[in-house]
Amino acid sequence: MTSRPLACDIFCTVVDNFGDVGVAWRLARQLAADYQWSVRLWVDDLATFAHLAPGFDAGKRWQRYGDVVIEHWGDALSDGETLQIADVVIEAFGCDLPPVYLGAMAERSPAPVWINLDYLSAEDWVGDFHLRPSPHPRLPLTKWFFFPGLGPHTGGVLIERGLASAREAFQADPVARRALFASLGIGAPADGTLVVSLFAYENPAVANLLGEWRDGAAPVLVLVPVGRIGPEIAHFLGVESFDASTRATRGALTVQALPFVDHPRYDQLLWSCDLNFVRGEDSFVRAQLAARPFVWHIYPQQDDAHLPKLEAALALYSRNLDAPAAGALRSFWLRWNGMPQGEAGRWMEYLQHRAELDKCARDWLAELEAPGDVAANLAEFVESRLK
């Protein structure tokens, strides 16, 4: 290890509201807290970032928030400004570094360790490209590709130290669950109620699923963070709008809107529910770390380019399930992601395998943790480049 704390700059653009910057923010905090790195997070949209950081002042060009310095990526990077280049520069999700900063990197001696933090994938090819170098075509710099992943030979996923013990303590404490629900304006669910969190992109399948829950025999409480799926929920409920005050019951179904919550309380929400619907990358990982069954709404891409990624994750996650349970899980996920499944992928088919899916969610944690976590793997690689 180096004899001094490393300085690290992470650059991230805000894409799709909170997904990319959510991952960058988690990584920044973990590198600062667990590895004592001096971390500066550059963000192009501080107003959106402020939702993730209670008390953050989006009007300031830079400020220290906890252990991390947050800087606005914009006016600060002018040609006439002297830039202090960090030991480690992380370009989150191919966001392209500002030309002025890139030029200053090339003049620094020694050159910083330059990382392209890519999107997570379970596809086989990721292991072949993880930690591969890419020399810059003009400048004396090398970019290293770092791929988070669900399998071996990848960078793993973000798992903070102490997360497992915090989750286990919370899930063993019904008082903590009731306190979380009370803080969100939710009464304690009645015994026998299935509690579901529903976080998704716009989704034509939502009305059918809500209808199945409405017409079912068992009570279902659906907790919906206010966001992109809100108009579809409102249409199903027959109300004008869907906001943080919305609560409605239709048959066996009760829908409760939730205000935006920060990362720690979102984790607790996932820990508290029997089933979690998640979207994108950040909540996809956090749902796995919750040790609860989940359904992933992957970010849709043109020409269905996202489907191989979805299938790869399904194959890994379900490989230890028996054939009926694996088939029900696959059908349900594909139907939720817009693939026609006929009568397959219905709620009752999925529900028949609830015990197996609960066990799968708990057992999966050991496999998820096997490659190590992103921050630890990244820190180890950086140290190897600095020797």
What's this model's pTM, rounded to 2 decimal places? 0.92
Q: List, as one string, the DSSP characters of 269-324.
A: HHHH-SEEEEETTHHHHHHHHTTS-EEEEPPP-GGGTTHHHHHHHHHHHHTTS-HH
* 365 lies in the same domain as 378: no
Cα–Cα distance between 200 and 195 in angstroms, integer?
16
135: preceding bond cis by omega (within 30 degrees) = no
pLDDT in tens, 73-123: 875 555 555 578 999 999 999 888 988 899 999 999 999 999 999 999 999
* 153 lies in the same domain as 172: no
Q: Which of 91, 118, 123, 281 is catalytic?
A: 281
**107 in catalytic set:** no
* 178 lies in the same domain as 139: no
* 220 lies in the same domain as 354: yes
Radius of gyration of the chain (CA): 22
Give the DSSP letter of residue 50.
G
Instruction: Label residue 83 exposed, middle or buried (CB < 10 Å: 0-12, 13-18, 19+).
Output: middle
pLDDT in tens, 310-369: 999 999 999 999 999 999 999 999 999 988 775 667 999 999 999 999 999 999 999 999
* 105 lies in the same domain as 59: yes
pLDDT of residue 293 exceeding 60: yes
* 222 lies in the same domain as 138: no
* 132 lies in the same domain as 173: no
Give how far Cα 107 sits from Cα of 96, 138, 306, 355, 383, Å: 18, 13, 39, 59, 21
Return the CATH number at 238: 3.40.50
β-partners of residue 65 are: 68
**281 in catalytic set:** yes
* 208 lies in the same domain as 132: no
* 145 lies in the same domain as 170: no
Residue 23 is assigned to a structural domain of this protein: yes
Give the DSSP letter of residue 46.
H
Confidence of residue 242 (pLDDT cuts 50, 70, 90): very high
Q: List, as one string, the DSSP characters of 193-244.
A: -EEEEE--SS-TTHHHHHHHHHHSSS-EEEEEESSTTHHHHHHHHT-S---T
Whether residue 216 contacts residue 250, with contact meaning beta carbons closer than 8 Å, is answered with no
Confidence at residue 184, expressed as pLDDT on a 0 to 100 scale: 92
Name which of 91-100, 262-271, 286-295 the model is least confident about.
Answer: 91-100
Identify the domain containing residue 209 by its residue range: 163-369
* 112 lies in the same domain as 212: no
Residue 207 is assigned to a structural domain of this protein: yes
Q: Across all residues in the chain, what is the average pLDDT?
A: 92
* 346 lies in the same domain as 279: yes
Residue 2 is assigned to a structural domain of this protein: no
Whether residue 294 contacts residue 332, with contact meaning beta carbons closer than 8 Å, is answered with no
Residue 1 is assigned to a structural domain of this protein: no
Give the count of domains, the chain: 2
Cα–Cα distance between 141 and 294 in angstroms, integer?
41
Confidence at residue 295, expressed as pLDDT on a 0 to 100 scale: 97
Confidence of residue 1 (pLDDT cuts 50, 70, 90): very low
CA 133 from chain center: how many Å?
26
Q: Name the token pair of 321.
A: 């399930």
Give the DSSP letter of residue 158.
-
* 85 lies in the same domain as 203: no
Give the DSSP letter of residue 121.
B
